Amino acid sequence: MSNRTIIPFGPQHPVLPEPIHLDLVVEDERVIEAIPSFGFIHRGLERLVEKKDFQEFTFVAERVCGICSFIHGMGYCQAVERVMGITLPPRADYLRTFWAELSRIHSHLLWMGLVADAFGFENLFMNSWRIRENILDIVEETTGGRVIFGAAKIGGTRRDVTNDKLKEIGRTLKTIEAELHAITDVFEQDYSVQQRLRGIGILSREDAFDLGAVGPTLRGSGEPMDARCEGYAAYRDIEVEPIVESDCDSYARCMVRIREIYQSFDIIRQVLCRMPDGETEIKVKGYPNGEHFARLEQPRGEVLYYVKGNGTKHLDRFRVRTPTFANIPPLLKMLQGCDLPDVPVIVLTIDPCISCAER
């Protein structure tokens, strides 16, 4: 009790590239409690829906986050399409799935780099990002943007990719996957990685479920929940088995993400195999009237879009519950009882995206 102090952590911190501030109540070197405060970058994007018409808003929805941008745009479009009762042509669904999985791979590779940087493994960080760059090249070639894909629109996709190009991409992905094995083997076997990740940031299965954790944070605690099992877009044809680790620590969450990268490569292979021919968009007539909650799986976890239309071109409400927002309470639980030097690593294991959370 005697040595209790409060250490402010963030919003600017060398290893934490996100504007979150934590007041860490520490006793000696041990964190007793963490009180977050954020809201430094609240942009009010949800209210912007009253100024932009519902088709323009796709571009705003996509800019909620810079990393999972495509799935944000896709989720918004999916919610509006459900309200308007639009069924997409199959090729549009498959192309969306293709891009969604590419964005999952690049987001997880980004995270691998960041976490390697957080525990001081610069070489691993650089190598993860080198491989990520190859994925971004594929994205830029097919959609025209590196991280803001701009490829989803209400009623389909804005671009088509020729079948020859898709075959070529399939071959490129095979070489990238082979290269990636060298990096992920380090995460799996390296002594220093294990020392920094194993046994820290424990989040039991009950706590994870009660506090509303989503995505790899929840699956790392042994709860098989993946919103892709909902069967939206092309996932209705492609079986997705939720990837689960039962160790409940930071290492388990790391392993979930690494295994998900390979799962994504596998899904892309299936998508490319089964890619149907035909139109990529249909004409949208009328305005949305009604409401719908769309549930999708982002790299960081489950995301929920709520769209309420009133029959005019401006929507009444657009709401996005981002995965990081749901993962903040579990993070506070993980931080209780950890050592002070482990705080950055634990914060990173939920893959925080505060800009996403504050919208």
Nearer to other proteins, 46 or 266 (CB): 46
Could you tell me the smallest distance in angstroms from the CB atom of residue 95 to other proteins? 14
- Name the amino acid, one letter, at 141: E
Could you tell me the smallest distance in angstroms from the CB atom of residue 187 to other proteins? 9
Q: Which secondary structure element, helix H or strand E, spans residue 264, and what is its range?
A: helix 250-274
Q: 314: which DSSP letter?
A: S
Query: Could you say which residues in the range 142-201 bind other proteins, by CB under 8 A?
Result: 142-145, 148, 150, 158-159, 182-183, 185-186, 189-190
Question: What tokens appear for 291 in the block?
Answer: 């409401």
The region of 105-113, 167-175, 300-308, 348-356 touching other proteins under the rule CB under 8 A is: 300-308
Nearer to other proteins, 111 or 125 (CB): 125
Residue 262 binds to other proteins (criterion: CB under 8 A): no
Could you tell me the smallest distance in angstroms from the CB atom of residue 295 to other proteins? 7
53 Cβ contact partners less than 8 Å away, ≥ 6 residues apart:
313, 314
Could you tell me the smallest distance in angstroms from the CB atom of residue 2 to other proteins? 26
Residue 358 binds to other proteins (criterion: CB under 8 A): yes
Q: What is the 3-state secondary structure (H, E, C) of 30-76?
A: EEEEEEEECCCCCCCCCHHHHCCCCCCHHHHHHCCCCCCHHHHHHHH
Query: Could you say which residues in the range 314-353 bind other proteins, by CB under 8 A?
Result: 314, 316-317, 319, 321, 325-326, 328-330
Size of the site for other proteins (CB under 8 A): 67
214 Cβ contact partners less than 8 Å away, ≥ 6 residues apart:
225, 300, 301, 302, 323, 326, 327
315 Cβ contact partners less than 8 Å away, ≥ 6 residues apart:
49, 50, 54, 57, 80, 288, 307, 308, 309
Which of 246, 289, 312, 336 contacts other proteins by CB under 8 A?
312
| CA proximity to 187, closest of 102, 241, 253 | 253
Q: What is the C-alpha separation between 272 and 268, in angstroms, rounded?
A: 6
Residues that bind other proteins (CB under 8 A): 35, 37-40, 42, 44, 46-47, 50-53, 56, 59-60, 63, 121, 123-124, 127, 130, 133, 140-145, 148, 150, 158-159, 182-183, 185-186, 189-190, 209-212, 229-232, 293, 295, 302, 304, 306, 308, 310, 312-314, 316-317, 319, 321, 325-326, 328-330, 358
